[in-house]
Amino acid sequence: MNMKEIHAWLTQWGRELKQHHKAIIFAIFLLFVSTAITYNAGVYVTEKGDAVASDFILDNFGPYDWNFIYTYVWLGIIFLMILYPALFAVNQVHHMLGQFSFLMIVRSAFISLTHLKTPFDAMSHGFPGAFSFFEFQNDLFFSGHTAVPFIAFLVFKEHKIRWFFLAGSLLMATTVLAMHEHYSIDVFAAYFITYGCYKLAQHFSPFKK
């Protein structure tokens, strides 16, 4: 990019930020609320999970140690999901954060109602640094690793990057099954529930464009 293109980009970026700043502020507030709810739901299910289920796919597939994908590729997807609209689609920031926060609140409710236990043969993993505070057990139904990239795919429907997030969702779905971190129903249901959350949230601000 030359200086003229950079100036045009900064001008457009500033204009969009000013236009949507109130919705962005509210979406950030909602993100903090959803983070608190997610944390407390995770603590609750870590204590309450008490039943292991049989699963046709897990009985015949894995477990395999794909910890790098499960941890670092996953964090990279989250980082890009926030960085991309912040730099290149400011008019989508409140939409992305709002949809993500709503999805996390719904997921917190679902995992709190479903007291299954993580399969005994699940591969061990560990999130680095502060991310370890959001490492729980038994937060199964539905799979956040699958759902979060998929909601980004739905939000960025007018951007080519959407295909990266769809590929990321499919990769994460395969990874959590390979590592026996989730039951197959957690993964397959994630797509249907996420789409339902996306359509429902479209009726409210700041989830809209």
Domain span including residue 68: 63-125+141-209
Examine residue 136 and state whether it is found in any structural domain, yes or no. Answer: no
pLDDT recorded at residue 205:
56
Examine residue 88 and state whether it is found in any structural domain, yes or no. Answer: yes
Examine residue 158 and state whether it is found in any structural domain, yes or no. Answer: yes
Residue 175 pLDDT exceeds 60? yes
Residue 62 pLDDT exceeds 90? no
Examine residue 106 and state whether it is found in any structural domain, yes or no. Answer: yes
From residue 146, how far is each of 24, 124, 175, 201 by CA, in Å? 25, 19, 9, 19
pLDDT recorded at residue 182:
95
Model confidence, pTM: 0.91
pLDDT recorded at residue 209:
52
Average pLDDT for 45-69: 90
Count Cβ neighbours within 10 Å for each residue of 106-135 and write b for 16 or more, e otherwise.
bbbebbbebbbbbbeebbeeeeeeeeeeee
Examine residue 154 and state whether it is found in any structural domain, yes or no. Answer: yes
More confident residue, 129 or 28: 28
Residue 180 pLDDT exceeds 60? yes
Number of domains in the chain: 1
From residue 182, how far is each of 9, 15, 66, 176 by CA, in Å? 42, 43, 13, 6
Examine residue 208 and state whether it is found in any structural domain, yes or no. Answer: yes
pLDDT recorded at residue 188:
97
Average pLDDT for 93-101: 92
pLDDT recorded at residue 207:
56
Residue 181 pLDDT exceeds 80? yes
pLDDT tens digits for range 12-51: 777 888 888 888 899 999 999 999 999 999 999 999 878 8
pLDDT recorded at residue 152:
97
Examine residue 12 and state whether it is found in any structural domain, yes or no. Answer: no
Report the distance separating Cα 81 and Cα 59, nearest Å.
Answer: 33
Instruction: Spell out the residues 6+ positions from residue 178 whose beta carbon is closer than 8 angstroms to its own.
Output: 61, 62, 63, 64, 66
Q: Contact at 8 Å (CB) between 71 and 126?
A: yes
The amino acid at residue 27 is A
Examine residue 87 and state whether it is found in any structural domain, yes or no. Answer: yes
DSSP summary character for residue 208: -
